[in-house]
Amino acid sequence: MTLAFIPSPSVGEVQLGPLPLRGYSLMLILGIAAAVWLGGRRWAARGGEKAVVADIALWAVPFGVVGARLYHVITSSEPYFGKGGDPAKALFIWDGGIGVWGAIAGGAVGAWIGCRRNGVPLSAFADAVAPGIALGQAIGRWGNWFNQELYGRGHRPPLGPGDRPRAPA
């Protein structure tokens, strides 16, 4: 029995004149904005300057993007470095291919640099911004929905009378 089903949109982008607006990118940007907003509020509540969170994000976000792309290229290297691959395409982030684990690692390095430059202890900063990062991650995952990358349960025929549930495959 299907309890809920939200089909992905048939298109993941709309054209705004000559510029494509991609749902995936929009959700990532909204997620970053939400993380900075909530992190700034929490940092200020602990006595810090709210703007410091945005300053550190200026380091963390680009490092996160680079880390996300590196993770993808390393874990899916065949199109870039395999037979018939094109190494230059490893730089073409606009063609797709990022990985959240690389974004987390790269973003952490960027946050560390930003914290050092702003005289902020990384541990205290991370403690304050962690809920904002989780919120941003949740918002960003909606980008996968726009990209039609989220799938629900496998489609199995419904159980009939006397049928026994099957173990998950």
Give tens-digit pLDDT for 116-133: 999 999 999 999 999 999
The answer to the question of residue 17 being in a domain is no
Per-residue pLDDT, 6:
72
Q: How many domains does the chain contain in total? A: 1
The answer to the question of residue 7 being in a domain is no
Q: Which two tokens stand for residue 123?
A: 């541990």
Per-residue pLDDT, 146:
84
Q: Where are the alpha helices (DSSP H) in the chain?
A: 23-45, 50-75, 78-81, 100-118, 122-146
Per-residue pLDDT, 151:
61
pLDDT in tens, 51-106: 999 999 999 999 999 999 999 999 999 999 999 999 999 999 888 889 989 999 99
Phi and psi angles of residue 16, each rounded to the nearest 5 degrees, phi first: -110, 85
The answer to whether the pTM exceeds 0.85 is: no
The answer to the question of residue 4 being in a domain is no
Task: Give yes or no for residue 169 having a pLDDT over 70.
Answer: no
| The one-letter amino acid at 107 | G
Task: Give the DSSP H/E element, type plus range, for residue 20.
Answer: strand 19-22
Distances (CA, A) of 157 to 3, 62, 154, 163: 15, 46, 10, 11
Per-residue pLDDT, 1:
53
Task: Give yes or no for residue 168 having a pLDDT over 90.
Answer: no
Cα(60)–Cα(31) distance, integer angstroms: 14
The answer to the question of residue 109 being in a domain is yes
The answer to the question of residue 152 being in a domain is no
Per-residue pLDDT, 88:
95
The answer to the question of residue 83 being in a domain is yes
The answer to the question of residue 159 being in a domain is no
Contacts of 162 (CB under 8 A, 6+ apart): none
- Residue 8's pLDDT band (cuts 50, 70, 90): confident
pLDDT in tens, 19-54: 888 888 999 999 999 999 999 999 999 999 999 999
Task: Give yes or no for residue 3 having a pLDDT over 90.
Answer: no
The answer to the question of residue 71 being in a domain is yes
Cα(102)–Cα(153) distance, integer angstroms: 27
DSSP 69-87: HHHHHHHT-HHHHSTT--G
Q: Which two tokens stand for residue 146?
A: 């726009």
